[in-house]
Amino acid sequence: MEKDWQVKAHLDDYDKIVAYVSTNFYFGKSNLFFLKDTKGVLQSCSIRSIENHSQYTKYELDVPFSLEFGREYIMVEEHARQFPLQIGRIVKTQRFDEEFYYDGNDLGAVYSKESTVFTLWAPTSTSVLLNLEKGGEVLLLPMKREEKGIYRVEVKGDLKNASYTYLVKVNGHYNEACDPYSYSLTCNGLRSAVIDLSLKKTDLCQNSCTPFLSMTDAIIMEANVRDFTSFRNLELKNKRGTFKAMAENGLRLNGYTVGIDYLKELEITHVQLQPVMEYVTVDEENPEEFYNWGYDPNHYLSLEGSYSSDAKDPYARIKEFKELVKKLHQSNIRVCLDVVFNHVYDMVSSNFEKIVPLYYFRVSETGYVSNGSFCGNDLDSTRKMMRKHILDSCKFFTKEYGIDGFRFDLMGILDVETMNRIVAECRQLNPSFICYGEGWNMPTALKDEDKAIQANNSKMPLIAHFNDIFRDKIKGKSSEYDSMIKGFATGNVFDIYDVQDALMANCVDHIHAKVYQHPFQSINYVECHDNQTCYDKICDCCQEESDEIKIKRQKLMIGMLMVAQGVPFLQCGQEFCRTKNGLHNTYRSADQINQIDWLRRCRFADTVDYTKACIQLRKRNPVFKMKSSEEILHHVSFEVHENEILIYKLQNIEEYCDYHEIWVLFNGGLNEYVWEAQERFCLIFDEFGFVKEQEESSVLKATGCSMRIYAR
């Protein structure tokens, strides 16, 4: 309860009012409550129950007559104290959702040269004013209430450079809010912008990408727009940390390709950009003074202004992001966006809360705002208009910006139905669309069976999940408190049996840890923006080893990623031993910590070349990217040699490649082993990459901390 109040009441259901009387007001006692209708007539509210608390008394009351949304009602208690009836938890009821769900596609500012129509969903408001500004002139225009809680007004004339907010009167007060459906914003998200999307039409060149037949064909690399271009040794034409800088071609450093040309040279299939939707914690007028990854969203249809060459121009960010997507597509790289639909930066100041209080946020049965995200709030994706907003945002970016997929931050906060609809509707727009996310079971106020979590992957057959088993068994534990705990590739050979499950994408029956139904549901990774980089982890848990051994371990992890069943995922710079000085959670650390140090791309060129070779190995041999668990079960087996060497056997594979059989030897220990097999094999790949034609031999060798591949 907030301070300095005496009496208040909330409409919590169609037949229930909950009143609170402070113990500072007549000791919290009131025996009579009335509801005043729109004609000023009082009608008595029967008291259902009374609860005494230390600071207030809670009264549950009957609603004496049918209420009409969009009108103001006054409560009166026995001491003649009058106070407004506020809209409360009634917005969380199914009846409210059904009654006010609006399925139109015209929310926001629909622009034409002749006029612009502004449409806002605000069913609990009693009045909405459009605050319109163009050329220094400000107009306050009343909006008309229509069915389903829609407010609408048409303004004549060409408004393509205008900005606006809504003044929404709800619970007796006017709140100023931006339009959740506006396509762009003014600097720092203070006002919505009227946008003529036809002005920034761009050929996004999606047809430039190689046809994408299966999600296991994907090789995803995570990148951050700012990190990618903030390194001071780069000679750039454009402002660092922007879409335009990231889109620059022809960059070289010490003779090596860097930037977007480097990504093309690697031959990854997808780049996953960390959040580019408008977020709060960077001052767009002074972006160099602040840093943030962007997992604190404010608006889901506008791009982040700090990534623009001019944050004050709402059109600049649109044009420049489209150019970046185009350049990536022309480089045969599809684009995924990291999206944060699980929470907003601040619930109270969010546009959602200002327009329809409580509706968009998940609330527990006891009335507390759910905080499974640990960010102070959880968005309630089960509400029809919240789900619609998520769907509309995803479809808008898929269609307007040519986006090829989404990675969902804390996907376990969202519900199964919403996630399945995103995939279905976005694939209608882009058949190559992919969808994946963090399927951790977060403590949000939603039944476990409804959460979009790994345990429910069978209910979401087209959605992939980050495989934390793969991460922990290959690399070792990731949290700040577990950084010394090793995995197979960092020397813990006792994980050798769990690694087998991970290499089969944890999707095959009769294994110890079956999690998924299909291999494409497993996003295999050992490094992402969270926690230490792999190289920093190695330097911690293998600190007694030489630099040469540490680099071999880095390469071993990359090799295991690229030959494992499932979908490989890398963080940009992982392939040249990226470091963040050992830090774990660098979400607001300086550029000096988060930047891509392109000099390391030159220094660790051999590791980069090895990564390129691993990518080529995967692309040339579809046996490493099988499409079903049945195929894996039929073709994959394992053998453990000397309790340290894991042999990953791919057999009867003529339908996939030019070989009858491939043996991949993984050695997580320091010792070298040589032994004789029953069959004769040819070495095709070693710790340096591809091997030139060699004579067949029955002698096999597993060098320390490395991957070797033999075939026949």
332-354 residue pLDDT tens: 999 999 999 999 999 999 999 99
pLDDT 10s digits, 302-325: 999 999 999 999 999 999 999 999
Q: With bands split at pLDDT 50, 70 and 90, how would you rate the model's confidence at 375?
A: very high
Give the chain's largest Cα–Cα span. 100
C-alpha 683/C-alpha 663 separation (Å) is: 10
The pLDDT value recorded for residue 2 is: 59
pLDDT tens readout for residues 553-584: 999 999 999 999 999 999 999 999 999 999 99
Q: pLDDT digit string (tens) for 660-672? A: 999 999 999 999 9
- Contact between residue 598 and residue 608 where contact means Cβ atoms under 8 Å apart: no
Q: Which of 284, 438, 527, 597 is catalytic?
A: 438
Lookup result for tokens 């000679």: 235
Backbone angles phi, psi at 211, to 5 degrees: -50, 140
What's residue 87's pLDDT?
Answer: 97
pLDDT bucket at 199, cuts 50 / 70 / 90: confident
**Catalytic one among 12, 217, 409, 536?**
409
**Same-fold call for 214-624 versus 631-711:** no
Q: State the pLDDT at residue 694.
A: 83
Q: From CA 229, how far away is CA 548, in angstroms rounded?
A: 29
Q: Which of 53, 61, 59, 60 is nearest to 24 (CA)?
A: 53
pLDDT of residue 510: 80
Please give the class, per CATH, of domain 7-87.
mainly beta
Query: In which band, very low, low, confident or very high, does the pLDDT at 227 lie, cut at 50, 70 and 90?
Result: very high
Q: Which among 124, 671, 672, 675 is positioned nearest to 663, based on CA atoms?
A: 675
What confidence score (pLDDT) does residue 512 get?
84
Q: Which CATH code is given to the segment(s) 631-711?
A: 2.60.40.1180
Q: What whole-number percentage of the chain has pLDDT above 70?
A: 99
DSSP state of 158: -
Three-state SS sequence of 570-617: EECCHHHCCCCCCCCCCCCCCHHHHCCCHHHHHHCHHHHHHHHHHHHH
Q: Name the CATH architecture for the domain at 97-177.
A: Sandwich (2.60)
Q: What is the DSSP string of 478-498?
A: -STTSTT---GGGT-GGGHHH
Residue 3 has pLDDT above 70, yes or no: no
The pairing of strands 405-408 and 334-339 is parallel
CA-nearest of 604, 599, 592 to 534 is 604
Q: What is the pLDDT of residues 45-83, one digit of tens each?
A: 999 999 999 999 999 999 999 999 999 999 999 999 999
Q: What is the pLDDT of residues 607-632, one digit of tens each?
A: 999 999 999 999 999 999 999 999 99
Token digits for 422?
Answer: 């995103």
Reading the block at residue 334, the tokens are: 């599809």
**Closest C-alpha to 161, from 191, 202, 190:** 191
Predicted pLDDT of residue 367:
86
Annotation says 146 is catalytic = no
Helix axis angle, 259-266 to 314-330, nearest 10°: 40
Q: Whole-angstrom Cα distance, residue 528 to residue 273?
A: 12
Domains of the chain by residue range:
7-87, 97-177, 214-624, 631-711
Q: Hey, CA dihedral for 264, 269, 273, 277, is it positive or negative?
A: positive
The model's pTM: 0.97
> How high does pLDDT run on average in the chain?
96
Reduced to 3 states (helix: H, G, I; strand: E, B; else coil), residue 223 is: strand
Which tens digit of pLDDT belongs to each residue from 233-273?
A: 999 999 999 999 999 999 999 999 999 999 999 999 999 99
- Estimate to the nearest angstrom the gap between the alpha carbon of 120 and the chain centroid: 26
Residue with tokens 């976005």: 426
* DSSP per residue, 269-280: SEEEE---B-BS
φ and ψ of 465, to 5 deg: -130, 145
Say what percent of the chain tops pLDDT 90.
Answer: 96
Give the chain's radius of gyration (CA, Å).
29
Q: Are 91 and 359 in contact (CB under 8 A)?
A: yes
- CATH of the domain spanning 214-624: 3.20.20.80
